[in-house]
Amino acid sequence: MTEQSEPATHLPADVDAVQTALVAWYEDDHRAFPWRETEDPYEILVSEVMSQQTQLNRVVDAWTEFLDRWPTAADLATADRADVVSFWTDHSLGYNNRAKYLHEAARQITEDRDGEWPRDPDGLSELMGVGPYTANAVASFAFNNGDAVVDTNVKRVLYRAFDVPDEDDVFERVASALMPAGESRVWNNAVMELGGVACGKTPDCDSAQCPWREWCHAYQTGDFTAPDVPEQPSFEGSRRQFRGRIVSVLSDHGELAVDDLGPRIRVDYVPDSDGEGSREWLAGLLSDLDRDGLVVFDEGAGTVALSR
């Protein structure tokens, strides 16, 4: 089978009807997130970075507060990076280096590009910390100039609806063939909404009035299996959580001795013990944060300070 013929093999004959049904379903009723009401690339980039490890309903308040504090890329570029990282930590938004990258991307836009945003995925990928998925999302939602988004939800939808094999390159080709030309903004929002509302791990086809039921392979066969999706590790007790605590404590106290920091982030900290809660364990976290540019760790002196 050639690459050119493969998408047609998996899609219904009447692709126009499939496209029209999904867009009408989305436009009739969808979850209201504030970043869906803007075409500002800065606001959309903030939402995309925040959403990478955080449930969308938790992102809304953080996104609103972030933009209240730093409403433009220029505002963020001139902010103290430590303040941005502290905000990230306080709102449990995942890895703190994403805050650092977002801050640097704002500086690139403001200082290197005179406030002009790239309008396509390739250009947006040149911004610090902006990978292919995020670049495409910003190009789609800010400029209506993206490719078909292929995330976990989209793969699940295509696998079930059109019996697409669990192969990344096939998912990408089928998704591209399915997206109406020049409609990346509404299409990518719509297909991700379908995966999030109607075609989750436990499907809700009828209650959500899935618009693809008449074409859906899974709906017709009753086989709702989908590609394996690894569960996100628990945040509680994770290295991610302790890294965030370290940054938060240093934001309040400035430079600390390592053994003064330990009890502030972990009640069972015992410097000379083995394993978790030991000085060696804490030094590993501090070394990681130092490499990420978030702290300055002087292992010889036994001190650590927040990077400025």
Among the listed residues 3, 48, 104, 276, the single catalytic one is: 48
286: which 2 tokens? 């501090």
Q: Is 48 a catalytic residue?
A: yes
Q: What is the torsional sign of CA 14, 16, 20, 22?
A: positive
183, 147 Cβ separation under 8 angstroms: no
Q: For 177-246, what is the HEC assignment?
A: HHCCCCCHHHHHHHHHHHHHHCCCCCCCCCCCCCCCCCCCHHHHHCCCCCCCCCCCCCCCCCHHHHHHHH
Q: Which amino acid is at 208?
A: A
The per-residue b/e assignment along 177-216, b for 16 or more CB within 10 angstroms, e otherwise, is ebbeeeebbbbbbbbbbbbbbbbeeebebeebebbbbebb
The residues, ordered by sequence, that sit 6+ positions from 37 with a Cβ below 8 Å of its Cβ are none
Q: What are phi and psi of 304, to 5 degrees?
A: -150, 145
State the catalytic residues.
Answer: 48
